Amino acid sequence: MKKRKSMILALIFMLGVVLANIAPSSAQSLENLEELEAFFDGILEVQLREPIASAAVAVVHNGEIIFAKGYGYADYEKKILVDPAETLFRGGSNSKLFVWTAIMQLYEQGLLDLNTDINYYLDFEIPGSPITLMHLMTHTAGFEDKVIGLFVLEPEEIQPLGKYLKENIPARFSEPGERMSYSNYATGLAAYIVERVSGQDFNTYVEENILAPLEMENTTFRQPVPASLQSQLAKGYAFVNGTFKPHAFEYIQLYPAGSISSSVVDMAKFMINQLQLGQSNATILSEETASLMQSEVFRPHQLVPGMAHGYAVNEVNGRKVLYHGGNLVLQHSGFYLLPEEQVGIYVVYSGDNAGVAHTALFSAFMDRFFPGEALEVKPSTSAKENPEDYQGFYLANRSNYSTPESILRIVQGTKVKIDSDGYLLFPVNGQIQQFGEVAPDVFYSFDGHTKLFLERDSSGKVVEIHLNFPVSFMRASWSEHPFTIGSIVVFSIVIALILIGRLVYVILKPDRFRVWGLELIFLFFASSIIGFLISLISLFANIDPVLGLPKVMFQAPTLVHGIYIFPVLIAFFLAALLGLTPIAWKNGLRLRYLVVIICGNALTWVLFNFNFIDIWLLVSAVAVGFTPFAFYSSQTRLRRNRYAFNR
């Protein structure tokens, strides 16, 4: 799959280069509709070979929709073609742009202040340092991320917005305003504040104050979509075993953050309104408020763009770009505005292979129609001379920190390397790219689209890599490194299997047997380790055949917590073994005992670090396990001493 994606991206790049030389490239060439159509036909023909079931794209310029076209089938089985005006695709996180627009409307009316503690507007409390709407809009609130339970399989599982937010307050890994980390929960909070302040549920508010004024008749946030729009909905497809397989509607628990279904023509109407500062066929924002919404307010570094009021900001080929992406499992989209050129492009795909397609298309679009001067990106002398200060394993800060879901941090991590020339190697959209230094600790990709700022500690070692979109990567400590975790897990499995094998040996040759009680504790300890690993593997090995994701991702978090019993048992039997130390020592089991204790402590430490057992459960398990066995051990030793004395 990775090879195929590399080939497709390479084809797109080459096609973009070829098309870029057909005619002079400028905004004026957008007026040549035949040329514009030829460009998109060429790009999307290549992309749909991925294979992707369908796509649609719309381009706006100077207040008009100048191009809109569908590609492929909205319904592959019935061979229903995509209609750019009628076919509804899921827009995923592009939904958030409507949340932020609603916030700015209420701000304009004087009902909201962007710098006030959000607890002032809520009917429950977010603990910790005050968070403002500005923090929510720039994804700098510091919330951890949660994946399990974000999607649900049935509409009945969707909880009322306020109830879900109140019962699922995430932990924070950072103080507000310090660093960007994309957060669906933050957007959900903002949408709930819209409900609280306006007195309307979010769906109704958006319909009356944004969709209706802009005549976006083929757009809805409702799940499932209203009956009147059902027949227009594009199916989500995965390519499985050589054929497209449809999947049921993807329901979003935090629906304001990702539930929108819309046609590309409707999204074009929204783009026009945003580009014309709220003043298209209807006024939904004043020019002043719309300008404020599009102004950049957070940067990780002066040379690395960051966030406006809900928009991610970038500079591509010397031009300011406001953008947002939207990704469900089976449908993916990109929303791009060039405010100074009055150009917008929205593209959406149906297909599990389309995750990075919109970024590739936009890059080709910019290089063709808005080319810039080649950047002078040089290798880093410092990186070449001291690669150890840069290289290592880094963990995404958009992750979970307080629940067992935090184990996914290891999977989300990435290796950073320095090549022989001094270029930094970093993955972007699944592809390793070279980055050169343009200023101290500021690195750009060769096309200038991706920008990095490297933060160092007092020793000069890079500890965090900030990107020009809402995520950063933090250097993994030795305790978080996959090698450390993997070594402990493998060591634990080997020891557990040896202990189980030892019991079989004892049963077959009882004359070699020493202490039944200790052998049984060894067995229970080993069985708990094996049971935990089997349970964990079974959770993530149960894959949905179409979505390609573990089914546990679609369960309520409480349903996953049954796995907790095994870490508690591991801690309990480890404590019991500690309590039986005198007996183990007395009966010549010192080496095996020491190895098991070391293994148990290391594994318990891993389980504690990844939140499979908290401090209170750990203390309780140790107390309950250690005390009686320590008492038994001391009594046994006392009886032996008395027996020896009497003799």
Tokens 């399990």 map to which residue? 148
CA distances from 509 to 502, 506, 542, 641 (A): 10, 5, 40, 30
Per-residue model confidence as pLDDT tens digits over 110-150? 999 999 999 999 999 999 999 999 999 999 999 999 988 88
Per-residue model confidence as pLDDT tens digits over 222-270? 999 999 999 999 999 999 888 999 988 999 999 999 999 999 999 999 9
Section 417-425 average pLDDT: 96
Per-residue model confidence as pLDDT tens digits over 330-348? 999 999 999 999 999 999 9
Between CA 198 and CA 182 the distance in angstroms is 26
Between CA 183 and CA 137 the distance in angstroms is 10
Q: What angle do CA 353, 358, 359 make, to 5 degrees?
A: 110
| Structure tokens that stand for 439 in this block | 């200023």
pLDDT score of 6 = 46
Section 314-336 average pLDDT: 95
pLDDT score of 549 = 77
pLDDT score of 24 = 42
pTM recorded for the entire structure: 0.89
E-assigned strand segments in 353-450: 392-396, 414-418, 424-428, 431-439, 442-445
Interacting residues of 380 by C-beta distance below 8 A, sequence separation 6+ = 418, 422, 423, 424, 436, 437, 443
Question: Predicted confidence band at 575 (pLDDT cuts at 50, 70, 90)?
Answer: confident
Section 586-607 average pLDDT: 82
- Amino acid residing at 180: M
Per-residue model confidence as pLDDT tens digits over 54-77? 999 999 999 999 999 999 999 999
E-assigned strand segments in 99-224: 151-152, 219-220
pLDDT score of 149 = 85
Between CA 564 and CA 404 the distance in angstroms is 9
pLDDT score of 214 = 98
pLDDT score of 572 = 84
pLDDT score of 558 = 54
CA distances from 215 to 62, 208, 218 (A): 19, 10, 9
pLDDT score of 366 = 94
pLDDT score of 564 = 78
* Choice among 96-105, 397-406, 555-564 with the minimum mean pLDDT: 555-564
* CB 202, CB 191: distance < 8 Å: yes
| Structure tokens that stand for 371 in this block | 């080319």
Top-confidence residue, 592 or 239: 239
Q: What is the mean pLDDT of the chain?
A: 88
pLDDT score of 13 = 47
Between CA 450 and CA 434 the distance in angstroms is 10
**Burial class of residue 467, CB neighbours in 10 A (0-12, 13-18, 19+):** buried
Question: Predicted confidence band at 625 (pLDDT cuts at 50, 70, 90)?
Answer: low
Question: Predicted confidence band at 644 (pLDDT cuts at 50, 70, 90)?
Answer: very low
Tell me what percent of the residues of the chain surpass a pLDDT of 90: 65
Section 297-306 average pLDDT: 92
Is it the case that residue 587 has pLDDT exceeding 80?
no
Section 374-400 average pLDDT: 93
Relative to beta strand 219-220, strand 261-262 is antiparallel
pLDDT score of 10 = 47
